[in-house]
Amino acid sequence: MLWKRELSFFQKLLDQHAPKSTAVGFKKQIDHFQCIITYYQGEIVDLLRKKLREHETRLANMLKELNEADVVYFKEHRAVIDELSSFQEAFGNFKQQYFEFIEHEPIQ
């Protein structure tokens, strides 16, 4: 949910900065960040959330059945953790680039 809230904030910030310049380079950067925000907000975060819920459900079932030897679950667990870690790193890089862009005043 935090990622969703951050992305909503980034969208509002982008909407405020978009009309500041008509320079082609600036507009290209606006489009670039808009695409990333839309992709993260509309697809990636929801997909990760779904995977986590499914994974938690499998864990709950595994514990309920006392089936701690489910090797497939542990392989999937590593994959889910790796995917979340990769996204967290990509999201951090996005935020750094995004804030650098927002802090830079466009040249008219």
pLDDT in tens, 31-51: 999 999 999 999 999 999 999
* H/E stretch holding 92: helix 71-103
Cα–Cα distance list, 106 to 15, 19, 23, 25, 47 (Å): 14, 10, 8, 9, 35
pLDDT in tens, 54-96: 888 888 887 787 766 666 777 788 888 999 999 999 999 999 9
The pTM for the full model equals 0.79
In single-letter form, the type of residue at position 38 comes to T
